[in-house]
């Protein structure tokens, strides 16, 4: 939970900030428009940001643990 909870909170903030600036229906990946419902784009974005947060928090926890 030391890794997952901060990652979850940052995913909430990152999703809110990202999708307040970017319309999910206008997302283009590899020169193709994404064909998903807006709620699906929000969900995919949230989990992508959460995974990035987990990787970041996990790496930090690993490095702190090794330095002790």
**pLDDT bucket at 38, cuts 50 / 70 / 90:** confident
SS (H, E, C) 22-56: CCHHHCEECCEECCCCHHHHHHHHHHHHHHHHHHH
> How much is the average pLDDT of 45-57?
95
Which position has the higher pLDDT, 42 or 25?
42
pTM for this predicted structure: 0.83
Which position has the higher pLDDT, 34 or 43?
43
pLDDT of residue 68: 67
């Amino acid at each position: 939970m030391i890794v997952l909870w901060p990652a979850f909170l940052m995913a909430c903030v990152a999703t809110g900030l990202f999708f307040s600036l970017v319309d999910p229906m206008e997302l283009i990946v590899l020169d193709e428009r994404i064909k998903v419902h807006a709620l699906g784009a929000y969900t995919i974005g949230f989990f992508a940001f959460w995974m990035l947060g987990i990787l970041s928090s996990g790496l930090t926890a690993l490095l702190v643990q090794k330095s002790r």
